Amino acid sequence: MLTDFNAELALQQQQGLYRRRRIVEAVSGVELIVDGKPCLNFCSNDYLGLSQHPQLKAALQHAVSQYPLGSGSAHLICGHSHAHHALEEELAAFTGREKAVLFSTGYMANVGVISALCERGDWVLQDRLNHASLLDGALLSKARLQRYRHRNMADLKAKLSKAPGDVLLVSDGVFSMDGDLAPLPEMVGLTNTRNSLLMIDDAHGMAVLGRTGAGVVEHFELAQQDVPILMGTLGKGFGCFGAFVAGSEALIELLIQKARSYIYTTALPPTVCEATRVSLRLVQGEIGADKRAILQQNIAYFKQSARQIGLSLMPSDTAIQPLLIGDSQQALAISQQLWARGLWVSAIRPPTVPKGQARLRITLSALHQTQHIDTLLDALAHCLQ
Ligand SMILES: *Cc1c(COP(=O)(O)O)cnc(C)c1O
């Protein structure tokens, strides 16, 4: 138990792991005022810039005139409004699944699904770089957690063959700290052949990947029977808040009965759900397609220009473009130098990433202009010399 709080904090500081929060005071596109100082944002997950879209803001304002601000209760008491229900139906149609259920956050969705479906004696197989919420879900379930090497299908296959009983195979669709994609077609093949279920967490693919923005499953053209459990978040590419799980009617009904992080918590504000419905329409329509195209142009421009100045990028084609530094203190120092030049790029350190793999995590958005990316690259060239 941590009883000497100050000693523990000092230890965090010594290890270069101390985390501090900066106060965002104003937002205009990617230009922010933070702690009183102007800077460019390169660390948001609002990949399409929808959180600032006038149609979403107008939808929220209109919703406030129709709905109470907060839901006032859990879904199974009196918190499940028409706004929630309509959004669930629209998310099911969007993802091509029979049914969807909303969770208050992605963290809670992951913990809720895994702990509802798995019990002692089951195995939960996870990519080593999966999001913390997926690991926590497995720990809470009391199932046996086994981790395979990142995207390594030979290692996954070996571990699958050793499992004595039922297996839940779980992976990020787009890896949150690396930006690469899980090899979903191979994973589908491996889970088709035995007593196992595949769950994909598409927090970073939703709204961003696929022709209509339906994420990594649309990118790989995978149906409900291929990926029976699909989790998506609404606070990143959709620019709103919350999360959902989509799948068969029976799966979703079971989660409503059994997922404790669904049952024992207040439902999302219905007002936010109304704004999210508009976001979902934009994502599927022309506005979404245009924003995805701009984002892709920004990613291509960043990668090409970074290579020209000799930066070694990780193998990512998504909006998440990490620069591996290694040492935590050094990653922090570079992030601080960038900050001094008005560029906000977060240093990601253990335990979020493995030891010795601290990095700068650059995220791009459709709101960045070429000049913003040039400013970042100039600063990186200077700071990484
Ligand atoms: C952000 C994230 C989550 C958590 O979603 P929240 O809605 O922010 O709680 C889950 N999984 C992955 C891969 C994420 O990146």
- Whether the model clears a pTM of 0.85, i.e. scores above it, the answer is yes
Pairing between β-strand 358-363 and β-strand 346-348 as defined by DSSP bridges: antiparallel
- Probe target for ligand 1 pocket from 44, 102, 103, 131, with the most ligand atoms within 8 Å of CB: 131
Looking at residue 4, its pLDDT comes to 95
How far apart are the CA of 201 and the centre of ligand 1, in A? Answer: 8
How far apart are the CA of 236 and the centre of ligand 1, in A? Answer: 8
Q: Taking residues 72-91, report their average pLDDT.
A: 98
User: CA–CA distance from 350 to each of 17, 118, 129, 261, 313 (Å)?
Assistant: 7, 28, 12, 27, 19
Q: What values do phi and psi take at 221, rounded to 5? A: 55, 55
Residue bearing the CA closest to ligand 1, atom 2: 203
User: What pLDDT digit, counting tens, does each position of 148-192 carry?
Assistant: 999 999 999 999 999 999 999 999 999 999 999 999 999 999 998
Q: Is the pLDDT of residue 210 over 90?
A: yes
User: What pLDDT digit, counting tens, does each position of 110-146 carry?
Assistant: 999 999 999 999 999 999 999 999 999 999 999 999 9
Residue bearing the CA closest to ligand 1, atom 8: 106
How far apart are the CA of 239 and the centre of ligand 1, in A? Answer: 13
Residue bearing the CA closest to ligand 1, atom 6: 106
Residue bearing the CA closest to ligand 1, atom 14: 203
Q: Taking residues 5-31, report their average pLDDT.
A: 92
Residue tagged 């895994």 (tokens): 114
- Please pick, among 75, 236, 291, 368, the residue that the annotation labels catalytic: 236
Share of the chain above pLDDT 90, in %: 92
Average model confidence (pLDDT) across the chain:
96
Q: Which atom of ligand 1 is nearest to the CA of 110?
A: 10
How far apart are the CA of 343 and the centre of ligand 1, in A? Answer: 24
For ligand 1, which residues put their CB under 6 angstroms from it? 105-107, 110, 131, 133, 172, 176, 201, 203-204, 233, 235, 243
- Do the beta carbons of residue 372 and residue 69 sit within 8 Å? no
Q: Is the pLDDT of residue 1 over 80?
A: yes
Structure tokens at 76: 């199974």
Looking at residue 353, its pLDDT comes to 87
Q: Is the pLDDT of residue 385 over 80?
A: no
Q: Is the pLDDT of residue 214 over 80?
A: yes
Give the confidence band of 351 by pLDDT, cuts at 50, 70, 90.
confident
Q: Which atom of ligand 1 is nearest to the CA of 241?
A: 7
User: What pLDDT digit, counting tens, does each position of 189-206 carry?
Assistant: 999 877 899 999 999 999
Nearest to 207 by CA among 232, 180, 178: 232
- Do the beta carbons of residue 16 and residue 328 sit within 8 Å? yes
Q: DSSP string covering 123-141, please?
A: EEEEETT--HHHHHHHHHH
Give the confidence band of 15 by pLDDT, cuts at 50, 70, 90.
confident
Give the confidence band of 384 by pLDDT, cuts at 50, 70, 90.
confident
Q: Is the pLDDT of residue 27 over 80?
A: yes
Q: DSSP string covering 346-360, please?
A: EEE-TTSS-TT-EEE
- The residue ranking higher by pLDDT, 47 or 354, is 47
Q: Is the pLDDT of residue 382 over 90?
A: yes
Looking at residue 354, its pLDDT comes to 86
- The residue ranking higher by pLDDT, 244 or 16, is 244
The answer to whether 236 is a known catalytic residue is yes
Give me the count of residues in the chain: 385
Looking at residue 118, its pLDDT comes to 97
Give the confidence band of 352 by pLDDT, cuts at 50, 70, 90.
confident
The answer to whether 204 is a known catalytic residue is yes
Q: Is the pLDDT of residue 147 over 90?
A: yes
Give the confidence band of 254 by pLDDT, cuts at 50, 70, 90.
very high
Looking at residue 193, its pLDDT comes to 76
Q: Taking residues 342-353, report their average pLDDT.
A: 91
Looking at residue 363, its pLDDT comes to 98
Q: Count other C-beta atoms under 10 Å from residue 227's C-beta.
A: 26
